[in-house]
Amino acid sequence: MEGILLLEDGTTFAGRGFGHRGTSLGEAVFTTSMVGYQEILTDPSYAGQIVAMTFPHIGNYGVTPEDVESLAPHLAGFAVHDLSLAASNWRAHGNLQDYLRLHRVVALCGVDTRALARHIRSKGAMKALVSNDGTALADLHKRLAEFPGIDGVDLMARVTAREPYPFTKTFTGPEGFADALRPARKPSRAFRVAALDFGLKENILKNLTARDCTVTVVPAYTPLDEILDLRPDGIFLSNGPGNPEMAARALPTLRSLAERIPTFGICLGHQLLALAFGGRTYKLPFGHRGANHPVKNLRTGRVEITSHNHGFSVDADRLPPGFEATHVNLNDHTLEGMRHRELPLFSVQYHPESSPGPHDSLYLFDDFIAMMERSHG
């Protein structure tokens, strides 16, 4: 079945349908990651987005339950250039085509995804739809014109857990994989961590359990007293999708927690932490998505190659009182990390769990452990 990806400025990209047959609306984005398409598909931070992979060959190693970041894909659509139906990997449990059909993800192959990426880079992020069910072009234009977009939607509320639950999984995978991700040193004791689920990825939690943390995942809008009842030694603020300003009702709780308990935030958690203390966020022209973004640690001078997935950024010129920048993006000089000068809290914009991506920033989980050790003795 022939298909189309339509942007709000009227630009079209032709392709062939695969996955679920239908039409889906969202925001068109691209990622430069060469591998890790299954982690990308199941990352809740992509909720509401039509994701294009700029690397041309996708699907060649199939899919496996060991590599998912959540129970199912959350994105609005998927576009690739060259789809492989053959799953040439001993770990594969199936192919990408069947996986997307099972989870009702509308997808296109044969798309010039690099041309799409260049267009988004020059014109900026925009509303879009992907269709592979034969709907007439005039009807697609009408549907897209009526689509309000995702910037005014609290996407976090759609992907967060519905109830608190303990997380006990550990790393699995090929021989040597877990060893490569082990902490730099064994913690002095096991710490209790309350992980606020804004759309979290499982490998973040696995990095905490690998450091002997007892992790309880709580929904994004859990009341303060219920979180304090868990008696956590540390608070983790997760990644997640969408405009952080749409989750404003969580801010008072986040500030109260961060003022009392050692806190580590990433991605959306980083943005919400800045807002909670009076900072500002803004939308990037086309976002940062990929596994090769250079970030400089301003405290050590070291450059880390990092994994990114976000469309908003904290305004470095309007940091909240008491905060200082710790990391900066070397591509566009946006803020990538901050810490409080007095309170035990820090956050980064990128994904230190590296799923997918390099392992340069795993030390941040050890820093979180060390911060809890200093605070709790």
The radius of gyration of the chain from alpha carbons, rounded to an integer in Å, stands at 20
List all residues 6 or more positions away from 369 whose beta carbon is below 8 Å from its beta carbon.
183, 187, 191, 211, 213
Assessment of whether the complete model's pTM goes beyond 0.75: yes
End-to-end CA separation in angstroms for the chain: 63
Phi, psi of 319 (to 5 degrees): -65, 145
Closest by Cα among 147, 132, 140 to 80: 132
Residue 329 has pLDDT above 80, yes or no: yes
Rounded to 10 deg, the angle between the 268-276 and 251-260 helix axes is 90
List all residues 6 or more positions away from 252 whose beta carbon is below 8 Å from its beta carbon.
224, 276
pLDDT digits (tens, 9 = 90+) for 55-103: 999 999 999 988 899 999 999 999 999 999 888 889 899 999 999 999 9
pLDDT digits (tens, 9 = 90+) for 307-318: 999 999 999 999
- Both tokens of residue 362? 């795993």
CA distance 247 to 227: 18
- Both tokens of residue 273? 């932490």
Q: Which residues are catalytic?
A: 267, 351, 353
CATH of domain 155-376: 3.40.50.880
pLDDT digits (tens, 9 = 90+) for 159-211: 999 999 999 987 766 665 666 667 767 788 899 999 999 999 999 999 999 99
H/E run at residue 335: strand 335-340
Class of domain 2-146: alpha beta
Domain with CATH 3.40.50.880 in the chain: 155-376
**CA distances to 81, 84, 88, 227 from 164, in Å:** 40, 39, 38, 10
Average pLDDT of the residues in 210-235: 97
Phi, psi of 70 (to 5 degrees): -155, 180
